[in-house]
Structure 1
Amino acid sequence: MNEFAGTRHLVRLALRRDRVVLPLWVLVLGVIPVTTTGVYDQLYPDAASRAALTATTSANPTLSLLYGRAFDLSTAGGFTAWRYGVFISLFVGLACVFTVTRHTRQEEETGRQELLSSTVTGRKAPLTAALLVAGTGALATGLIIAIGLIAAHLPAGGAIAFGLGITLNGAVFTGVAAVTVQLAEFSRTANGLASAVLGTTFLLRAVGDSAGGLGWLSWLSPIGWGNEIRPFAGERWWVPPLMLGTAILLAGVAYVVLPRRDIGMGILPARPGPASGPAGLRSPFALAARLHRGALTGWLVGFAAGGVLTGAMADGIGDLVGNSEQTKQIFERMGGASALVAAFLAVMASLFGMIAALYAVQAMLRMRGEETAVRLEPVLATRVTRMRWAAGHLVFSLGGSALLLAVAGVGVGLTHGLRVHDVGGQIPAMLGATMAQLPAVWAVGGASMLLFGFLPAYSAASWTVASLSLALTLYGPILRLPQPVLDISPFTHIPKLPGATAAPAPMLWLTAIALVALALGLTGFKRRDIG
């Protein structure tokens, strides 16, 4: 039988399963760059303001660490490529990794792939279908970026180079995931390995772009390659073939390794577990802790690093925006504070809250993952009740998000306090600013629990709720959307700390809404059938 038989049908199946998630991340990541081009001329209207921006960026290695090297900030295209290139590449890479794992290793882990393989399905068809779906998503994101920038009257060459870099970066990490799903036996391990590669390449790029004399490190990172294409700054058209060749090489390695393992197994042998469980693993909470500890640890490291970077660059934000009144108005509209640094810190505190909401959703959806993998039923066959089992996961979804915000607040307050010589005052202020986001985070988590309790088949729509809240809060003020539309996001109602008055009423209402949603979701879970 043809080893690729059934690929077309598996692609259709994967696209149907991802009909919500895939278009969502494609549209959100594809539209973001266009939002900057329309306001660039207002933010930096003359040559003097653009020269000041370039000088400040060059003198601040923290900005290069975060956004990459800026090759030309005198044009809207160059500014857009610098501002969004690294982070869009990062998120596209993550999306491609999760897509490949979901349609390969996760299918084997749940036993569905073995059933499909008993039909007229070739051995290489599932991997090929996953690569095509993930690659299509990356390609669609790059096309939307390129078309949007061309429609905004930016040079076509730079727009195509920018979109091509994003697409090929996604292709490279699609290849990385294709290899890791052959190595690991479980989807979590495969995602962890691929994410570790992605994080390592991000760090290599960060060090290479910010540390003098270590620029060669950026060439060890696919994310760095995307930046080295230099969109709108004298494009280097010889870099994309390097990225394409790497993606093809990684996919080839995956195809070579694939026949060397059995379905459901990985190249790396799984370690046999102990004959009996440890004494500390005899409760539903202990089981939840074992399941969540790896993900929570990774998120904590990320929030700690983000907090330190934010605090390090906060004091220089005034130099970055110069004397542009339009920029100050945007920061004040988003942050609600009169002082520019306080407004910037308020925006970042809100951003930490929105990212923590993504963790809360991920932790909530772990319950659905345990259910669909048929690991929940054996647990409930013991003396463990549904409520006790769910409570263990809720502790990590709600308490874990609170811990993330606390770590970010301390990180920002510590580094910013060291720079302004006020550690004792900045740590409590920033801790309060980040923890103020918690009611909104819990509201998003409550919506996820509500879907899990009553509409478990649509639990993945929780990502839509979180992404919509993030998009409205980040880009709604810039696009001047009507206030009723902005109010859809729970983060709109949170006081913009530090700098604003801490109004308790909105936070109390959001907490009440979150608790009601959680209670209703638990009630629905208690009464519905498992599976």
Structure 2
Amino acid sequence: MSVAVSCTELPIRTSRFAGTRVLLGPASRAERVIAPTTVLLFLMINAATAGSIVSMYPEAADRVALQQGPGANAAFRFLLGPLQSVESTAAITVWRAGLFMIAAFAVCVALAVTRHTRRDEEQGRVEMVRAGATGRLAPIATATIVAVVYCVVVGLAMSLMLIPLGAGAIDVVCVFAQYATTGMAAAGVALVAAQVATTAHLANLTATAMVLGGYVLRGAADIVDGWGWLRWLSPVGWAELIDPFGADDLWWAGASILVFVLAVGLAGVVAERRDLGAGLLAPRPGPASTTRLADVGAVAVRLLGSQAVAWTVAIAVYALVVGAIAPSVDELAEGNQLFADVVGAAGVSASLGALFTSTMSAFLAVAASAWSVAVISRLRSEESAGRVEVLLATPTSRSRLYLAHVAVAVGGVVAILVATTLGLGVGTAAAGGDAGSAFADAARATAVQLPAATVIVGSAMLLYGLAPRSAPAGWLVVLGALLLGPLAGMFQLPQWVRDISPFTHTPTVPLEPVRGTPLIVMLVVAVGLIAVGRAAFDRRDVG
């Protein structure tokens, strides 16, 4: 007797990692712009740093003065770590761009891992992939491979370029280990965060907080006697303990690799046991009915409010740290005729600490303007999910929807700049600085940054108005504004190139008096960009 068996009754058994090779193709395609841009950016900053060191410290005596001056200052030790070796340009380059760049790269790796795990799962792509003959762990394996390749490429790029600058073989290996293993540890943390959190936003916040928290702990260990043990608590601290051009201790790289291996294993275990879309850190569900969402503006605030608070708190904390170390910057000018001549040549009676606050305010303003890109990214997700179309099916007009998000973007930037002012002022006052002048300098330095930040808001909203797929290009706008504005001096760019960034036209208060004309022009430009974006959004298809 023969028995007919339907094919649907036969279980399809696949390996846990089946389909990983196939998934690497789309993952590589998704990174085809972001990854090369990141590698190029890190190389450019490192090369510009090396070039500035060669021109500013050509002699051994100049480098010793750097070590005994800024290298011994608490502010620079917090931001960059101690300057222990001045034997070569490579050693000083690693100090000037080392730990901060390592932490920044670790954040980039964490964001990349989240893009290929929780964000794909949140948008339904993982469910669609898993419907085929794909293993449960294939998405995690794909993200892990992408992250490791990312770390190796950047580690090689950042270390090999030091060879012409005087780095020895062991020093090159140690610098490679700093970038590669710290990035791998961040990737492991992000993999676990992507399994625990239920949204890509929460996963990004968790992983980024872990990396930046380690950077802050490492900074505290460098400026407070007896707190050196804080370096043992994070991969960023372990990267410092590797100490290229000094101890060359590669054992600490093994600690980061161990974290990576354990985190990947933990993420795999959790992924095999949880339901798709589930997690421990879930957003609290809203009430079944409410009167608080009476219009589209209230909806925009509800969707973006928690994210705005997270951005504001994060930048305020960093501003607090910057403010706390500002008084120690003035110590550099005490008895130093060079600094006195520089400040005197500026024609103002500003302290070096006030100039430091002004410079850092520009960097924080760029970070504040990046909030607008987060707004259009969320709006793009809402449109992709079909919820914007549902809103527009009500009496809500396109203009109201667009302008509501413009208001949230501008309001968020203002809130972040206000928080920056408070952080700088409170930090300076808590560190023993003059509270009155600290708040006054911080308020003026951040207030003049608002018009430039609104130009970035207008650019971001214009990109979304033209097409939702253009939203990621907003990050390139922010990056360009940073490189051509606050960081332009590192690259020795011609003035006409610097003028592309709106932050170039912002008065450097208190180094120079406030000039109303550029501020008014930038506000007009911002309004024009928003108006053009609104017109484009009114005419294009939604969805």
Please tell me whether Structure 1 or Structure 2 has the larger radius of gyration of its CA atoms: 2
Identify which range, 314-323 or 516-525, moves more after superposition: 314-323
Cα distance in 1, alignment partners of residues 436 and 186 from structure 2: 43
Q: Match of 1:491, as an amino acid?
A: F
Contact kept in structure 2, 1:168 and 1:243, CA below 8 Å: yes
> Does residue 266 of structure 2 align to residue 256 of structure 1?
no
Q: Match of 2:299, as an amino acid?
A: L
Contact kept in structure 2, 1:69 and 1:210, CA below 8 Å: no
Cα distance in 2, alignment partners of residues 411 and 269 from structure 1: 29
Contact kept in structure 2, 1:358 and 1:463, CA below 8 Å: yes
Cα distance in 2, alignment partners of residues 289 and 328 from structure 1: 49
Alignment correspondent of 1:293:
305
* Aligned residue runs from structure 1 range 61-460, under 5 A: 61-73=74-86, 75-266=88-279, 268=280, 270=282, 273=285, 276-317=288-329, 319-320=331-332, 341=352, 342-416=354-428, 422-460=434-472
Cα distance in 1, alignment partners of residues 362 and 319 from structure 2: 12
Cα distance in 1, alignment partners of residues 284 and 437 from structure 2: 51
1:258 Cα deviation (Å)?
Answer: 1.3
Question: Which residue of the other structure, out of 505, 508, 521, is the alignment partner of 2:533?
Answer: 521
Identify which range, 47-56 or 463-472, moves more after superposition: 47-56
Q: Match of 2:29, as an amino acid?
A: R
TM-score, with structure 2 as normaliser: 0.88
Identify which range, 375-384 or 411-420, moves more after superposition: 411-420
Cα distance in 2, alignment partners of residues 343 and 41 from structure 1: 24
Cα distance in 2, alignment partners of residues 189 and 414 from structure 1: 28
Contact kept in structure 1, 2:242 and 2:249, CA below 8 Å: yes
Q: Deviations for 1:403-448, whole angstroms, at most 9, x for unmatched residues?
A: 2122223433454467786433442333122121111111112111
1:167 Cα deviation (Å)?
Answer: 1.5
Cα distance in 1, alignment partners of residues 185 and 224 from structure 2: 25
Q: Match of 2:401, as an amino acid?
A: W
Cα distance in 2, alignment partners of residues 444 and 405 from structure 1: 14
CA spacing shift, 1:135–1:425, aligned 2, 3 Å: same
CA spacing shift, 1:430–1:273, aligned 2, 3 Å: closer
Contact kept in structure 1, 2:456 and 2:478, CA below 8 Å: yes
Contact kept in structure 2, 1:454 and 1:525, CA below 8 Å: yes
Cα distance in 2, alignment partners of residues 54 and 466 from structure 1: 33
Alignment correspondent of 1:506:
518
SS of equivalent residue, structure 2 residue 85: coil
Identify which range, 82-91 or 151-160, moves more after superposition: 151-160
CA spacing shift, 1:102–1:374, aligned 2, 3 Å: farther
Q: Match of 1:144, as an amino acid?
A: A
1:260 Cα deviation (Å)?
Answer: 0.6
Cα distance in 2, alignment partners of residues 499 and 413 from structure 1: 18
Question: Which residue of the other structure, out of 437, 461, 472, is the alignment partner of 2:484?
Answer: 472
Consecutive unaligned residues of structure 1, counting only runs of 5 or more, are none
Identify which range, 29-38 or 127-136, moves more after superposition: 29-38
TM-score, with structure 1 as normaliser: 0.90
SS of equivalent residue, structure 1 residue 170: helix
Q: Match of 1:424, as an amino acid?
A: G
Q: Match of 2:400, as an amino acid?
A: R
Contact kept in structure 2, 1:89 and 1:223, CA below 8 Å: yes
Contact kept in structure 2, 1:364 and 1:394, CA below 8 Å: no
1:13 Cα deviation (Å)?
Answer: 0.8
Aligned length: 528
CA spacing shift, 1:336–1:162, aligned 2, 3 Å: farther
1:274 Cα deviation (Å)?
Answer: 5.1
Q: Deviations for 1:213-260, whole angstroms, at most 9, x for unmatched residues?
A: 221121111110111100122311222122112111111111122111
Q: Match of 2:388, as an amino acid?
A: L
SS of equivalent residue, structure 1 residue 236: coil
Cα distance in 1, alignment partners of residues 168 and 50 from structure 2: 12
Q: Deviations for 1:90-129, whole angstroms, at most 9, x for unmatched residues?
A: 2222212221111111112111222222223222221111
* Aligned residue runs from structure 1 range 30-69, under 5 A: 30-47=43-60, 49-56=62-69, 60-69=73-82
Contact kept in structure 1, 2:406 and 2:461, CA below 8 Å: no
Identical amino acids, percent of aligned pairs = 34
Cα distance in 2, alignment partners of residues 421 and 191 from structure 1: 35
Contact kept in structure 2, 1:337 and 1:496, CA below 8 Å: no
1:169 Cα deviation (Å)?
Answer: 0.8
Cα distance in 2, alignment partners of residues 257 and 464 from structure 1: 35
1:157 Cα deviation (Å)?
Answer: 2.6
Cα distance in 2, alignment partners of residues 198 and 427 from structure 1: 30
1:309 Cα deviation (Å)?
Answer: 2.9
Q: Match of 1:208, as an amino acid?
A: A
Identify which range, 199-208 or 43-52, moves more after superposition: 43-52
Cα distance in 2, alignment partners of residues 451 and 13 from structure 1: 24
CA spacing shift, 1:382–1:43, aligned 2, 3 Å: same
Contact kept in structure 2, 1:56 and 1:319, CA below 8 Å: no
1:461 Cα deviation (Å)?
Answer: 0.9
